[in-house]
Chains A and B, each alone.
Chain A
Amino acid sequence: MKAIVNVALKKGVLDDQGKATHHALDTLGFKEVVSDVRIGKQIIMELNCDTQEAARAQAVKMCEKLLANTVIEDYDIEIIG
């Protein structure tokens, strides 16, 4: 079973990398198209779990403990398989 975890800065925490990238896109001619850019990271894991529920529960624990810093970051989890 595969878990795909996306981690990004919380809304309200200024994302300087997103802002700089947004600015670069603006100057490349995408000003009309792009209204917001946020940069995050994706963590892809193979999990040895029997059910999607069990995989999700494990992934939540991993996010809370290590994969995200919940002081500044949010995460979402997608389970495939």
Chain B
Amino acid sequence: MNVTVLQFPGTNCEYDTQYAFEKLGATVSILWHKETAIPSNTDLVVIPGGFSYGDYLRSGAIARFAPIMESVSKYVAAGGKVLGICNGFQILLEAGLLPGAMKRNDTLHFISKYKNLKVINNKNKFLEELEVNDVVNIPVAHHDGNYYIDEDGLKDLEANNQILLKYCDENGNIESLNGSVAQIAGISNKQNNVFGLMPHPERAMESLLGCDDGVKMLKGFFNK
């Protein structure tokens, strides 16, 4: 399995992401945003977390026009799998590869802590190692994670099983973290090959460091 991790000025989770996927057995390469081609042997593109372009204008708004993003769009159109984590999710929203937009957290605070997530849908390459209603404990660290989509858009997400994860308590009761519409933490596109989530599974890979629930989340990508 070959994973290509994109790197923009201000990205800061590329090495955690590399560590996570290498731990699971992947060959990982980090690709600078000025490159114009995704390596042809890539099985998964990951847009990692961070603060690309300092979050200037809007989180992800400038990164989406980086040279590499055109080939990401082509890769998606050809059915390739893309995972966006945190700032990566924001970039995918700005690029229109996932529906909706991000607003500032309703608390207006930067939130950095472990948060429980409930699996809403597992019929996809990302979460197929988990069961629906499973609860995983994963770190979140964001200022702009307040997911917004209008009512019609939300109905579409629900009808097409595009809602993957929601914020919840340890017993799986859905609860708000940052004001997101329907407490959404992660979604996919209609074609089920683009995934975005605010929490950081790559930071939950070692029980020694607190939690390894991220392993189950990322392992699905390794299934044939």
Q: A interface vs B, CB < 8 Å?
A: 9, 13-14, 16-17, 20, 66-67, 69, 71-72
Q: A13-B148, A66-B57, A67-B57 are in contact. Are A72 and B101 (CB under 8 A)?
A: yes
- What residues on A are CB-neighbors of B32 within 8 Å? none
- Name the 5 nearest CB pairs between A and B, nearest first: A71-B101, A72-B101, A16-B106, A69-B101, A72-B148
Known: A16-B106, A16-B179. 6 other contacts (CB 8 A): A20-B108, A66-B57, A69-B58, A69-B94, A71-B149, A72-B148
Most chain B beta-carbon neighbours within 10 Å: one of A16, A17, A67: A16
A-B contact pairs, 29 of them (CB 8 A): A9-B103, A13-B148, A14-B103, A14-B106, A14-B179, A16-B103, A16-B104, A16-B106, A16-B107, A16-B108, A16-B179, A17-B108, A20-B108, A66-B57, A66-B61, A66-B62, A66-B65, A67-B57, A69-B58, A69-B61, A69-B94, A71-B93, A71-B100, A71-B101, A71-B148, A71-B149, A72-B101, A72-B103, A72-B148
A26 to B104, CA, bound (A): 22
B57 and A13 within 8 A (CB): no
Chain A: minimal CB distance from B133 (Å):
29
Interface of B is mostly: loop
Q: How far is the CB of A69 from chain B (nearest CB, A)?
A: 5
Q: Is B146 an interface residue (CB 8 A)?
A: yes
Select from chain A the residue with minimum beta-carbon distance to B58.
A69
Over the window 44-72 of chain B, the binary record of Cβ atoms lying under 8 Å from chain A Cβ atoms (1 yes, 0 no) is 00000000000001100110010000000
Size band of the interface chain B makes with A: 10 to 19
Which partner residue on chain A sits nearest B179 by CB separation?
A16
Residue with the greatest number of chain A CB neighbours at <10 A, chosen from B62, B100, B106, B179: B106
Given the interface pairs A71-B148, A72-B148, the reply to whether A17 lies near B58 with Cβ below 8 Å is no
| Cβ proximity bits B85-108 to A, threshold 8 Å, 1 near / 0 not | 000000001100000110111111
Interface centre among B65, B146, B148 (most CB of A within 10 A): B148
Using Cβ atoms and an 8 Å threshold, which residues of chain A touch B179? Answer: 14, 16
Compute how far the CA of A66 lies from the CA of B106 in the bound complex, rounded to whole angstroms.
24
* Shortest distance from the beta carbon of A9 to any chain B beta carbon, whole Å: 7
Contacts of B105 in A (CB 8 A): 16
By the criterion CB–CB under 8 Å, are A13 and B103 in contact?
Answer: yes
| Alpha-carbon distance A73/B77, docked complex (angstroms) | 27
**Complex formed: what's the CA distance from A72 to B101 in Å?**
7
Residues of chain B within 8 A of A71, CB atoms compared? 93, 100-101, 148-149
Q: Which residues of A contact B103 (CB under 8 A)?
A: 9, 13-14, 16, 72
Contact residues in B for A20 (Cβ distance below 8 Å):
108
Task: Give the residues in chain A near B108, CB-CB below 8 Å.
Answer: 16-17, 20
Using CB atoms, name the residue of chain B closest to A13: B148
| Closest beta carbon of chain A to B105's beta carbon, Å | 8
